[in-house]
């Protein structure tokens, strides 16, 4: 779960305006307090819940029953007692207007797995789990895209909720840095060429470096063509993984899902005449990188993080 908290912290900047009602699960399964505890246990087993909000006859929230509570009930032989006797009464709740930043803080502060969302009459209108926070939010906005080569063999679907490396890059020292401070598209790839030379000088193998350089070229070119601003390339090497992070401060991507499609491009004609804008950039990155993550929101720039590690028949050192 620590990893999830980490991810939330890293992306919350991009989502801080999002309110609970936009990503909570609703309607929510609740259970009445006078029912036998064994009913809660069965509901959890069948529906694979790890906790259920408990309500009174007016549908108002009175507690929550979790797997831990069930274990206690089992230990005490209390499974036939009413749920009210075994549930946790001290429940931390959310209102639908609360912002994601506050939710992240509550997860961190209380260590609970879920928070019921209640209205002004204490009726349960939704629930937020850490899982919701990741899946619903990200898939709904589709502004974070993750491709992971390791997953592809067993998950044949694109996924929008893998967890990027838990490394806090802010604390790491970048081994290579390049400012994309030019706007002339014909210079695109200068940083990638520099990076290629740098990596070769550090003893990485030519095949490995080619993959890294191509992916970096595409990300760099995107900054120059699309961002309308400047950007920066940072490279880190940690735990045998090479991490290339290309960030810009420009206009962001409207629809990452569309942008990922091969052949889709928003490049203007003069750019296309120069041989750019074929709509292959992100597809090329995906092909070269073992893992890529894109975070973007209109007006807030783009972060492309690419991870590379050695393949079976490819040594990363020469």
Partner 1 sequence: MRVSDLENLGFTRITDGDGDLKHGYTCDLLSEVMAKAESDTVWFTVQSHVNVVAVAAITGIRAIVLCNGHEFDEETIKKATDEKISLFTTPLNAFEAGGKLYSKGLK
User: Binding of partner 1 at residue 72 (CB under 8 A)?
Assistant: no
User: Binding of partner 1 at residue 93 (CB under 8 A)?
Assistant: no
Among the listed residues 15, 107, 204, 217, the single contact to partner 1 using CB under 8 A:
217
Nearer to partner 1, 90 or 201 (CB): 201
In whole angstroms, the minimum distance from the beta carbon of 263 to partner 1 comes to 10
3-class state of residue 210 by DSSP: helix
In whole angstroms, the minimum distance from the beta carbon of 315 to partner 1 comes to 16
In whole angstroms, the minimum distance from the beta carbon of 276 to partner 1 comes to 6
Nearer to partner 1, 168 or 186 (CB): 186
In whole angstroms, the minimum distance from the beta carbon of 11 to partner 1 comes to 28
Among the listed residues 53, 116, 189, 301, the single contact to partner 1 using CB under 8 A:
189
Nearer to partner 1, 155 or 274 (CB): 274
User: Binding of partner 1 at residue 186 (CB under 8 A)?
Assistant: yes
In whole angstroms, the minimum distance from the beta carbon of 232 to partner 1 comes to 18
User: Binding of partner 1 at residue 252 (CB under 8 A)?
Assistant: no
State residue 28 phi and psi, 5-degree precision.
Answer: -120, 145
User: Binding of partner 1 at residue 187 (CB under 8 A)?
Assistant: yes
User: Binding of partner 1 at residue 147 (CB under 8 A)?
Assistant: no
In whole angstroms, the minimum distance from the beta carbon of 265 to partner 1 comes to 10
In whole angstroms, the minimum distance from the beta carbon of 144 to partner 1 comes to 23
Q: Rounded to whole angstroms, how far apart are CA atoms 31 and 28? A: 10
Piece of 148-156, 205-213, 228-236, 308-316 that binds partner 1 (CB under 8 A): 205-213
User: Binding of partner 1 at residue 149 (CB under 8 A)?
Assistant: no
Q: Which has the closest alpha carbon to 124: 40, 52, 37? A: 52
User: Binding of partner 1 at residue 275 (CB under 8 A)?
Assistant: yes
User: Binding of partner 1 at residue 281 (CB under 8 A)?
Assistant: yes
Q: CB of 139 within 8 A of CB of 155?
A: no
Q: CB of 242 within 8 A of CB of 307?
A: yes
Binding-residue total with partner 1 (CB under 8 A)? 24
User: Binding of partner 1 at residue 274 (CB under 8 A)?
Assistant: yes
User: Binding of partner 1 at residue 214 (CB under 8 A)?
Assistant: yes
User: Binding of partner 1 at residue 250 (CB under 8 A)?
Assistant: no
Both structure tokens of 7: 């991810």
Q: Rounded to whole angstroms, how far apart are CA atoms 304 and 216? A: 10
Contacts with partner 1, residue ranges (CB under 8 A): 185-190, 192-193, 196, 206, 210, 213-214, 217-218, 274-276, 278, 280-281, 283-284, 287
């Amino acid at each position: 779960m620590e990893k999830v908290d980490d991810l939330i912290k890293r992306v919350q900047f991009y989502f801080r305006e999002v309110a609970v009602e936009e990503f909570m699960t609703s309607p929510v399964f609740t259970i009445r307090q006078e029912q036998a505890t064994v009913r809660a246990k069965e509901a959890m087993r069948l529906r694979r819940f790890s906790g259920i909000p408990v309500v009174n006859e007016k549908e108002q929230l009175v507690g929550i029953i979790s797997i831990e509570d069930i274990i206690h009930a089992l230990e005490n032989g209390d499974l036939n007692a009413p749920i009210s006797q075994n549930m946790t009464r001290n429940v931390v709740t959310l209102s639908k207007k609360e912002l994601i930043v506050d939710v992240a803080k509550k997860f961190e502060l209380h260590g609970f797995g879920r928070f019921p969302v209640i209205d002004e009459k204490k009726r349960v209108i939704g629930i937020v789990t850490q899982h919701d926070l990741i899946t619903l939010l990200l898939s709904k906005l589709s502004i974070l895209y993750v491709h992971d080569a390791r997953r592809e063999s067993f998950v044949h679907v694109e996924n929008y909720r893998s967890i990027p490396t838990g490394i806090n890059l802010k604390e790491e020292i970048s081994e290579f840095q390049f400012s994309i401070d030019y706007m002339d598209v014909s210079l695109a790839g200068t940083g990638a060429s520099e990076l290629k030379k740098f990596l070769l000088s550090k003893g990485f193998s030519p095949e490995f470096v080619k993959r890294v350089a191509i992916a970096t070229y595409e990300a760099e070119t995107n900054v120059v063509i699309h961002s309308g601003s400047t950007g920066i390339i940072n490279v880190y090497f940690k735990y045998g993984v090479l991490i290339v992070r290309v960030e810009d401060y420009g206009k962001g991507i409207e629809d990452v899902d569309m942008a990922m499609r091969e052949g889709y491009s928003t490049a203007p004609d003069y750019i296309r005449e120069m041989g750019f804008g074929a709509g292959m950039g992100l597809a090329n990155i995906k092909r070269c990188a073992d893992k890529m993550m894109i975070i973007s929101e209109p007006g807030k720039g783009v972060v492309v993080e690419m991870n590379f590690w050695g393949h079976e028949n490819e040594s990363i050192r020469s």
